[in-house]
């Protein structure tokens, strides 16, 4: 005989369990929603071939995928290179000169166009056509240097087969960092016909989980889910997650205090900008552990000095400036978020061995200036207008004036700063402020970009000191060919010292970066990649 009451009870229990499980969700957070974020300045570019700032890289990390990418993970895990559009890590042969990869099958751009192997070649060629500041990373590809000059004829060192998805890259010589460079945003694969111009206002189609849907240059931009991520790319690429939120709205809010207020009042979910020094400690004390977390990207804050122009063409002047800068003062200007350093390789970077060739000594600095007796004492000091970098610039200007120079500070809007100082036609590029965040966790990244003579470019210049020492260039090039090991790390440490003896820059500290979210975001889920910053796919509402 049936017992309807018992059956009913079982049904209710089963239904209740199903509801309970559904409510918990598979990831213990809410899926969907719109993430609102704020930046203090608009990224230099929203074009993966051109952007060379943390703001731009954070913005496009989950939008444009290269053949390889950096693991979407925190800390040291996030510095590992993993396959993205490529099926697997490259096969390296011919003594480190040949790289072979295979494109995953079935990939599509966000406009539905299939991703082809030949798109990688045209994307790299586009880097040179737009005179990208990152193009020098790929100049070791056979034929790339000639293509950089002529912009004609393609790069013969990249061979592709759209049928099989095979991509073969031949280098002029072995390059120990090339795998890292294939993971950079510069190498993001774009459709073959992508115009060779700045596409910030109308970004190209995406391959990542999010696509940029609307841009108001200087003011805001928006993302939506890439419709072809779920259908095609997502199932194929297991190293990049789909993301939790459906939409992302980013707006530029110039004032740091306003950004903090908006987070505190839950009007914005996340601020990309480091918190202004005035509020840093207050926010940290109030929200650490719940909505605030200190991140440790590898970076270097410094003042560059143009070694091709008086008075900084004189070694004694450069050394004097190094002696004159007091890291303790700069620590206060950065309200405790800066760790003082006086060398090129920061702590955490392989090859870092602490030393200080120029401990603060104003008397010695003045003595060196007296010995150098520079004729040209008019100096323009460049800085961006974001606090406290502009105050660091003002402090630097004061130090130069104390040394007997006639220094004038020039503050440039953060949106344009790197573009302006990286353009050799800008007049009076004497000295200025700079922050350099690692492109990848390899010491060559610092030396190649900032100190190799080969990196000096008419636009998008990263070697702002314009130092070009053939012997040291050769050392950089030699070390670049070798895979990184203890021997190479020791050589990089020695190179650090050799460059600091020439004092082309005044390094003064490494900065921490906070992740600050509002109460609705699960902070524990937010991933901070040491190279790309906060991972947009990791933001999830509670």
Partner 1 sequence: MAVVGPWRLAWRRLRRNRVALGFLGLFVAIVVFCLAAPLWASEVAHTGPNKTHTLEKIQAGGEVREVVNREGRPIGPQWLEADGKFFLGADGRLGRDEMVRLMYGGRTSLEIGFAAALLTTLLGTLLGLLAGYYGGWPDTLISRALDVIWAFPVTLLAISLGLVLAVGGLQIGPLHLSGSSLWITILIIGGVYVPYMARPIRGEVLALREREFVEAAEAQGAGPGRIMLTELLPNLSSTIIVFFALNVANAMLLEALLSFLGVGVQPPNGSWGTMLSSGLDLLTSAPLLTYLPGAMILLTVLAVNVFADGLRDALDPRSKVRIEAHSGLTKAESVEGIAP
Under 8 Å between Cβ of 154 and 196? no
If one asks whether residue 276 binds partner 1 (CB under 8 A), the answer comes out as yes
Strand partners, 251: 38, 220
Of 196 and 329, the one with the shorter C-beta distance to partner 1 is 329
Structure tokens, 307? 């070694």
State the number of binding residues for partner 1 (CB under 8 A): 39
Of 388 and 530, the one with the shorter C-beta distance to partner 1 is 388
Which residue in the set 58, 200, 341, 390 belongs to the binding site for partner 1 (CB under 8 A)? 390
Stretch that binds partner 1, among 122-130, 150-158, 236-244, 271-279 (CB under 8 A): 271-279
If one asks whether residue 75 binds partner 1 (CB under 8 A), the answer comes out as no
Per CB under 8 A, contacts with partner 1 among 152-171 are none
Of 236 and 394, the one with the shorter C-beta distance to partner 1 is 394
Stretch that binds partner 1, among 255-263, 349-357, 362-370, 463-471 (CB under 8 A): 255-263
If one asks whether residue 394 binds partner 1 (CB under 8 A), the answer comes out as yes
Q: How far is the CB of 377 from partner 1 (least distance, A)?
A: 15
User: How far are the Cα atoms of 39, 376, 409, 421 from residue 428, in angstroms, in the given order?
Assistant: 29, 12, 11, 10
If one asks whether residue 388 binds partner 1 (CB under 8 A), the answer comes out as yes
Residue recorded with tokens 């390889």: 68
Residue recorded with tokens 């095609």: 232
Kindly tell me the sign of the dihedral angle through the C-alpha atoms of 462, 463, 466, 471. negative
Please list, in sequence order, all residues whose beta carbon lies within 8 angstroms of the beta carbon of residue 42, skipping any fewer than 6 positions away.
55, 217, 218, 219, 252, 415
Please list, in sequence order, all residues whose beta carbon lies within 8 angstroms of the beta carbon of residue 451, skipping any fewer than 6 positions away.
344, 463, 465, 467, 472, 476, 499, 504
Residue recorded with tokens 């970066």: 513
Structure tokens, 37? 């974020």
Which residue in the set 180, 307, 387, 531 belongs to the binding site for partner 1 (CB under 8 A)? 387
Under 8 Å between Cβ of 210 and 62? yes
Query: Sheet of 270-271: strands edge to edge?
Result: 210-216, 220-225, 247-252, 34-39, 270-271, 513-517, 292-295
Which residue in the set 255, 373, 406, 524 belongs to the binding site for partner 1 (CB under 8 A)? 255
Of 238 and 285, the one with the shorter C-beta distance to partner 1 is 285
Q: How far is the CB of 275 from partner 1 (least distance, A)?
A: 11
Which residue in the set 62, 170, 256, 262 belongs to the binding site for partner 1 (CB under 8 A)? 256
**Number of other residues whose CB lies within 10 A of the CB of residue 91:** 11
Q: How far is the CB of 39 from partner 1 (least distance, A)?
A: 17
Q: How far is the CB of 387 from partner 1 (least distance, A)?
A: 5
Under 8 Å between Cβ of 499 and 472? yes
Under 8 Å between Cβ of 393 and 433? yes
Per CB under 8 A, contacts with partner 1 among 423-442 are 426-428
Per CB under 8 A, contacts with partner 1 among 464-483 are none
Q: How far is the CB of 412 from partner 1 (least distance, A)?
A: 7
Q: How far apart are CA 66 and CA 186, in angstroms?
A: 8
Of 100 and 385, the one with the shorter C-beta distance to partner 1 is 385
Q: How far apart are CA 59 and CA 48, in angstroms?
A: 10
Per CB under 8 A, contacts with partner 1 among 304-363 are 326, 328-329, 331-336
Q: How far apart are CA 136 and CA 153, in angstroms?
A: 18
Stretch that binds partner 1, among 164-172, 208-216, 263-271, 277-285 (CB under 8 A): 277-285
Q: How far is the CB of 176 from partner 1 (least distance, A)?
A: 39
Per-residue contact flags (x/-) with partner 1 for residues 405 to 424, judged by CB under 8 A = ---xxxxxx------x----
The binding site for partner 1 (CB under 8 A) comprises 255-257, 276-282, 326, 328-329, 331-336, 385, 387-388, 390-391, 394-395, 397-398, 401, 408-413, 420, 426-428
């Amino acid at each position: 005989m049936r017992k309807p009451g018992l059956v009913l009870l079982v049904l209710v229990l089963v239904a209740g369990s199903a509801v309970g499980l559904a409510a918990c969700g598979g990831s213990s957070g809410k899926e969907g929603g719109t993430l609102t974020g704020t930046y203090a300045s608009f990224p230099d570019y929203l074009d993966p071939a051109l952007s060379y700032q943390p703001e731009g890289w954070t913005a496009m990390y989950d939008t444009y995928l290269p053949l390889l990418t950096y693991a979407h993970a925190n800390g040291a895990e996030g510095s590992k290179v993993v396959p993205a559009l490529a099926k697997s890590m490259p096969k390296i042969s011919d003594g480190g000169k040949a790289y072979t990869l295979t494109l995953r099958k079935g990939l599509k751009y966000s406009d539905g166009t299939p991703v082809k192997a030949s798109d990688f070649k045209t994307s790299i060629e586009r880097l040179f056509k737009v005179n990208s500041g990152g193009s020098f990373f790929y100049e070791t590809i056979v034929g790339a240097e000639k293509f950089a000059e002529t912009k004609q004829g393609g790069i013969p060192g990249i061979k592709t087969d759209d049928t099989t998805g095979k991509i073969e890259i031949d280098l002029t010589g072995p390059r120990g960092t090339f795998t890292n460079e294939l993971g950079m945003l510069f190498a993001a694969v774009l459709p073959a016909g992508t115009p060779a111009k700045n596409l910030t206002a109308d970004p190209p189609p995406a391959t990542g989980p999010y696509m940029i849907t609307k841009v108001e240059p200087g003011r805001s931009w928006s993302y939506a889910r890439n419709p072809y991520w779920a259908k095609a790319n997502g199932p194929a690429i297991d190293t990049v997650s789909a993301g939790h939120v459906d939409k992302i709205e980013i707006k530029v809010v110039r004032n740091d205090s306003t950004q903090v207020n908006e987070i505190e009042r839950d009007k914005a979910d996340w601020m990309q900008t480091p918190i202004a020094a005035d509020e840093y400690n207050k926010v940290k004390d109030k929200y650490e552990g719940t909505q605030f977390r200190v991140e440790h990207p590898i970076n270097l804050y410094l003042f560059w000095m143009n070694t091709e122009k008086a008075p900084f063409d004189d070694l004694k002047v450069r050394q004097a400036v190094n002696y004159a800068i007091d890291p303790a003062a700069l620590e206060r200007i950065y309200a405790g978020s800066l760790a003082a350093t006086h060398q090129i390789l920061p702590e955490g970077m392989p090859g870092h061995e602490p030393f200080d060739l120029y401990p603060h000594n104003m008397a010695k600095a003045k003595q060196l200036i007296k010995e150098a007796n520079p004729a040209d004492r008019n100096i323009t000091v460049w800085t961006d207008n974001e606090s406290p970098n502009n105050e660091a610039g003002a402090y630097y200007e004061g130090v130069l004036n104390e040394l007997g120079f006639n220094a004038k500070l020039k503050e440039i809007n953060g949106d344009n700063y790197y573009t302006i100082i990286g353009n050799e036609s800008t007049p009076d590029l004497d000295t200025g402020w700079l922050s350099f965040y690692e492109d990848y966790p390899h010491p060559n990244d610092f030396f190649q970009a900032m100190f190799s003579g080969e990196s000096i470019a008419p636009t998008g210049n990263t070697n702002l000191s314009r130092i070009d020492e053939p012997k040291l260039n050769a050392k950089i090039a030699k070390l670049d060919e070798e895979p990184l090991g203890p021997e190479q790390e020791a050589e990089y440490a020695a190179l650090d010292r050799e460059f600091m003896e020439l004092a082309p820059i005044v390094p003064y500290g490494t900065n921490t970066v906070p992740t600050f979210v509002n109460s609705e975001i699960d902070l524990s889920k937010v991933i901070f990649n040491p190279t790309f910053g906060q991972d947009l796919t990791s933001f999830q509402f509670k």
